Amino acid sequence: MNEIIGELLPPARLMMTPGPSCMDPRVYRAMSAPLVGHMDPWFIEMMNDVQVLLRRVFQTKNRVTYPVSASGSGGIEAAVLNPLEEGDECIVCVNGMFSERMAVIAERSPAKVIRVEGELGRTVDPEDVRRAGKGKKIKFVGLAQGETSTGVVQRLENYRKVADELGALLIVDTVASLAGIPLNVDREGIDICFSGTQKAISAPPGMAPITINSRVEDLIRARKTPVESWYFDFTPIMTMWGSERTYHHTPPVSLIYGLREALRIVLEEGLETRWERHLRNQQALIAGIEAMGLELFVSNPADRLVTVTAVKIPSGLEDGKVRQQLLNEFNLEIAGGIGKTKGKIWRVGLMGYSSQNTNVLLFLAALEKVMLDQGRHVPAGAGVAAAIRSYQGTAQPVAVGARK
């Protein structure tokens, strides 16, 4: 009982998971800055910087744009519960674990939730959404732009058209996509958009950037009943992160330091340049994966999320043993499937600071070695060679998850 617990010394992993991603050293430096009080005039001024940077990354002019002090799941809860009251109906497009979580949270409100489901590995058909909402007064249509659990991307313009026909808000989960693939909140007509800091932004976990437009502000002010969640209620938050800066809760000061620097780095690189980097690295990864004789879980190239690639686990290989050897020998972490895909897929993340060509080549070489050790024949060097050809432009994989 008197044993002294030693100093905290976490291993420096190469994180190629669907989140968190590795962080730029400048983000670590920012987080080591001295703490100040959350009502300190300096911190209040710094909050302005964070909001300005977030608006630029979301590409919006929305007044209410701020980081929710919670994980991405907190962003879901804030986005879903604020618009819903008793008697409302909403539609949630479900094609994986995290879009299903949006439906589950909505079902805890007094509103009626209509699930429109798509097969795992595929998008939800907008025509199914249209049929589900026909003749009904729908409060919102909710979906995930990037479904982290399966590596599927959905094109937002299709759902915006349907939401317009239904007179509904459009709520979009961009946890796995913001700063990794094209997104323009204002141009694409998203009413509530939320994300997570630990993925393509490459900031620490624990915050969920969110932005709401004036239409939603008016709706919140007109509510007849309080929002079911005190913590995630937009009403007081609109003043905490507004000009009044009234106290609501103690925000994670050091995490916000890190977020400010991470957002600054995103814009220093440039959004379009960053999107192109993510796409280029995923194309090389896919070329390598396929050259090794492996199959992708998302069969339609146009439906593949650039930041998360789902790979089918071939017969004869054990998910946990492969991932454990990658971790033990190469200090490299990828993720397995979750929910219905557990044991069936690997999920390889190329997000933010982790999306580098050296990481792609290391992973392909490491995976080849692990597969050979575990009795699976792989053409020698095929994965790395195919990735190199992709980078050199001699291979022409299909561009996915991005619009011209």
CA end-to-end span of the chain: 62
Query: Contact 67/38 with Cβ under 8 angstroms?
Result: no
Task: Please check the confidence at residue 396 and state whether its pLDDT lies above 90.
Answer: no
Domain with CATH 3.40.640.10 in the chain: 25-267
Q: Which of 66-80, 136-150, 245-259, 307-321 has the lowest mean pLDDT?
A: 245-259
| Each residue's pLDDT tens digit, 216-269 | 999 999 999 999 999 999 988 877 777 777 888 889 999 999 999 999 999 999
| Each residue's pLDDT tens digit, 347-363 | 999 999 999 999 999 99
Instruction: Give the list of residues 6+ apart from residue 104 with CB closer than 8 angstroms, or none.
Output: none
Query: Contact 256/50 with Cβ under 8 angstroms?
Result: yes
Strand 208-212 relative to strand 64-68, pairing: antiparallel
Q: Please list the alpha-helical segments (H only) found in 167-248.
A: 214-221, 234-240
Query: Looking at residues 119-142, what average pLDDT do you find?
Result: 98
Write phi, then psi, for 385 (nearest 5 degrees): -60, -45
| Each residue's pLDDT tens digit, 69-113 | 999 999 999 999 999 999 999 999 999 999 999 999 999 999 999
- CATH domain 25-267 topology: Aspartate Aminotransferase; domain 2 (3.40.640)
Domain with CATH 3.90.1150.10 in the chain: 271-392
CATH number of the domain located at residue range(s) 271-392 in this protein? 3.90.1150.10
Three-state DSSP state, 240 = helix
As a whole number of angstroms, the distance between CA 149 and CA 98 comes to 7
Instruction: Give the list of residues 6+ apart from residue 65 with CB closer than 8 angstroms, or none.
Output: 51, 54, 55, 58, 209, 210, 211, 212, 241
Percentage of the chain exceeding pLDDT 70: 97
User: Strands, DSSP E only, in 205-275?
Assistant: 208-212
